Chain A
Amino acid sequence: MNCWNWFRSRRIRLRERRHRERELDREIEAHLELEAQEQEESGLRPDEARFAARRAFGNKAIVREDARAVWTAVWLERFARDVKYAARSLRKTPGFAVVAVLTLALGIGANTAIFSAINALMLQPLPFTAAEQLVRIYSIQKGMFNTFANPDGPSVLDVRDFAQRSRSFQKMVAYDTWPKNVSFGESAFQPEQMSVGLVPAAYFEILDIRPIIGRLFSEDENREGKNYVAAISAQLWRNRLDGDPSVLGRKIRINGEPYTIVAVMPDVIPPWVEPGRHSEIWTPFPYSPDMWSESGRGERGYAVLARLQPGVSLEHAQADLSVIAAALAAEHPVDQGVGVAVKRLADSRVGALRPMLYVLMGAVSLILLIACVNLANLLLARNSARQRELAVRAALGAGRGGLVRQLLVETLFLSLIGGAVGFACADVGLRVLARVHPENLPQLGSVGIDWRVLTFSLLVSLFTSLLFGLAPAFMGTRLNLVDALKQGGRSGTPGRSSQRVRSLLVITEMAMCLMLLVGASLLVRSLVRLQGQNLGIRQDHLLRGRIYLPPVRYSDPGVRTRFCDGFAARVRALPGVIEATVTTVYPPNNGWTQMLVIPGDPVTRIQDIPSAEFGVVDQHFLRTLGIPLIRGRDFAESDGATSPPVALISEEFKRRYFAKEDPIGRKIHVGPPRSLPVAAEENVTDDVDVEIIGVIGDFKNAGLALAPQPQITVLYSQNPLVNGGFKDIVIRTASEPHLVESETRSQLRALDSDLPLAEVQTIDELIERQVGGQRFTTVLLASFAAAGLALAVVGIYGVVSFLVAQRKQEMAVRMALGASRINVLWLVLKQALEMAAFGAVIGLFGAWAMQRLTSGLLYGISPVDPATFMGAVSFLLAIAAIASAIPAARVSLIDPAGSLRQD
């Protein structure tokens, strides 16, 4: 409200009230006079008459007060007075007020931020019509599907059969995304690598999304050759094509080929719906003719989206598809042991991050609990210290209602300030979350405060403060006035029951704090292990960039080899570059697994076929990455296109497949054995037979969390069949790697102006990105643990201070009777440590019980790691000891004589 208006309306009200009061006085005077007159007429003396009139009237002051209560809504006035009083009494104890407000703010803020985020990530309804009908379909190996960590997709043929044979679905579609070189406008070639969705029209139909302008792809356009049409997102349309109203019919170049824009789609598809990166361009999914031959059945990995028939449950659909999958496995050997899983689209949105979010949810709930316990403790301590004050006020005539109201207002006042500060904390927290969110949770970038969550946390803390703020008020007002006044501070020990409640609260706090500490230190240690491990290469000063040679202009493997060799040579010649290699292999992920035939080791079952991480490189691979050669020789320039193909294997490969013999000189067939029916994809490597020439050191090739897998590496120049368009360049630099970035780009442009250098990052940055989610969780959980610890410290400090104050007399007596200061100090400390230890033990059980929650997030450490548990316990006890030693020390400063004389 405007300050001036408020002031003016207040003055008007004041004037009005004065007027009313004068009127009432007139009325009363008139009444008394009339009454006195009547009494006189009935025979009394004038002074007697006046006295009788006043007696008949009653207490004038009370009448005035009551009448005034009628005019002004008196409760409002009382409320204002109570608020003023509350503010004053809080100002008098600033320590208590600040701690209580911060406690509340922390609890409310952390909860609001985290639960708002989780609500937005996991619980908010999807932006699609009848979204509960939308499901994803995954392929699973022998029931291994228990997390979203490693879902696989079915093959196009499986999807076709699922769709034809089942009755549970309205529509089903297989789709994919690929990074492609895209340039806008036909004249200026400034290509960049973008994620392009390969989707039939059914994809949009299932999601029930219609183009803003234009049309969906036709069935005919799903055929190879007819597929040169594209749909673009509205955002892309606005940002890159200036929202051109005549955009339909314009052409964009994808992988060097022109595509006609036929539709602009609304920006409603969340990024996580598409595999890989978020797509803003979609083209039809051109099924090549051989895709429909049976040889393609094993080519899995497609994303599948489907819409259930109305009224069909998820369980029903799952049962339906399981039967079909079993039938397919019986019909096709390649489908043996492959099952199917149907999952709601909504459940797939946070994917592998689900356990992390659960852990965070648990952690903030603990924080809110600790905050409430702390608040309860503070209020209890404060109010029992005020019992004397309350008693005095009751003795002076304050009714119980008044006292309760006073405490109520004070508590509400405190809660509201805490809520306001908490709101600010939540806001800041969400901004920070948006800033540091891991790359695989892009939704976090735009989360706002959820008002329901804020209200909930506010209500919880309000409830707590009312419960504990008012309980002593009732106790306080019930207490015998005389006793309370007489006792004052002189009482030997505080009331038993209130003390028990307080110790219980501290114990709870300690227990929850320990759980947080254990969780946080497990995560920290796990992150340190994950990041600190040896990748098997020299990790520093390495820059990575991706290129894609589109088949239109680079159809011939020989041309691809020449281009890559030429590019690498140009880069090597740049100043600041020590080495460079064109490769598909480097840590921490390889992502290309090949089946192999190792002569003399016949297999009869598909499951027994040996496999290894596979990749193609040039001759500079080992030198650039700094991988040691253990035996044999490195690739040499003499290993050319015409000489016999050679290969390097890793130590793990040797251990797995050549445990007893010397692998050097042995020949390996890359690809599945011809005797077994396996996927078509592998057929392209039919003729790749390589000779092992060397054994190299192991390096991380299956992600940071897994041990190095067997690795086999060959030269792309010698193996045209595996010499594809996707290649990466890895550069070892003398100084800061990004310094050579722009020079590298211009070298590539000089060779082909239509090729972008994509995802340029150092290996360090790549690793950092991989652990981003882990780091995110760890940092959050660690800060929650710190917050919980701070709260617990405040809690135990408060309780011990209170104990000391209460037992001052007792201590003085003990000291007067000869107890040493150390004895007395220990008496207090012991009590505090007992509470802490008891809480810690309960917390240990809690931490043990939550192992299922944390185990999914840990790397290289057990969720019940004894060292971590013991460490957390000793840390907590140490902190508790320090927090209680400070107030306990005050005991030993007591002057016994003075203390006993007091009061």
Chain B
Amino acid sequence: MTPKNSPSRTELLQGTLDMLILRTLLFGPAHGHQIARHIQRTTEDVLQVEHGSLYPALHRMERKGWLIAKWEMAKERNRELKYYRLTPAGKKQLVREESRWRQVAAAVGTVMAPVRGER
């Protein structure tokens, strides 16, 4: 049988993780480690992304045509690294994901507001 992650976590994170990756790549091409670091930094370590889970996501998004990947020499490190960059389809996907995210956030916000008011 296939070893599996706990399905609940993968599923919960999947959409969000995709969005975060796309968002990161909006500033320019980056390799896996950079992306991981960037997400960690920008979310101020609130979202603990397991670095490894990045790679299946990257491959999946590459397969869907949102990203393209290329092995390039990293200037400061003197070794070849795999750089990912956004495609136009990826940009569109980012827009879609963001609007969806806003909807969800807004919806959750309206649900949660009265609770705070009661206190």
Contact = CB atoms under 8 A, between A and B. Distances in A.
A67 B59 contact: yes
Contacts, number: 70
Contact of B56 (A35, A38, A69): A69
B56 A63 contact: yes
Interface residues of A, number: 31
Given A58-B50, A63-B53, A402 B63 contact: no
A30 B59 contact: no
B39 to A, nearest CB: 12
B25 to A, nearest CB: 16
B29 to A, nearest CB: 15
A74 B37 CA distance: 30
A822 interface: no
Interface range on chain B: under 10, 10 to 19, 20 to 34, or 35 or more? 20 to 34
Nearest to B40: A56
Given A31-B33, A34-B77, A69-B56, A58 B51 contact: yes
A71 B50 contact: no
A398 B60 CA distance: 25
Given A61-B3, A67-B59, A23 B50 contact: no
A35 to B, nearest CB: 6
Given A31-B32, A31-B33, A35-B33, A60 B79 contact: no
B63 A71 contact: yes
Interface in A376-421: 396-399, 402
Interface string B31-56: 11100110000000000001111011
Contact of B2 (A31, A65, A70): A65
Given A27-B32, A34-B33, A70-B63, A59 B1 contact: no
B56 A66 contact: yes
A58 B56 CA distance: 13
B16 to A, nearest CB: 17
Interface string A1-41: 00000000000000000000001101110110011001000
A27 B82 contact: yes
Contacts of B68: none
A78 B4 CA distance: 14
B107 to A, nearest CB: 30
Count chain A CB atoms within 10 A of each CB in B4, B50, B56, B81 and give the residue with the most: B56
B33 A66 contact: no
Given A30-B81, A31-B32, A58 B52 contact: yes
Interface of A: 23-24, 26-28, 30-31, 34-35, 38, 56-63, 65-67, 69-71, 74, 78, 396-399, 402
30 contacts: A23-B82, A24-B59, A27-B32, A28-B52, A28-B55, A30-B32, A30-B81, A30-B82, A31-B33, A31-B51, A56-B50, A56-B51, A57-B50, A58-B51, A58-B53, A60-B52, A61-B3, A62-B5, A63-B52, A63-B53, A63-B55, A66-B5, A66-B53, A66-B55, A70-B59, A71-B63, A78-B2, A398-B1, A399-B1, A402-B1
Interface of B: 1-5, 31-33, 36-37, 50-53, 55-56, 59-60, 63, 77, 79, 81-82
Given A56-B50, A58-B50, 17 more contacts: A30-B32, A30-B81, A31-B51, A58-B52, A60-B52, A61-B3, A62-B3, A62-B5, A63-B55, A66-B5, A66-B53, A67-B56, A69-B2, A69-B56, A70-B63, A74-B2, A399-B1
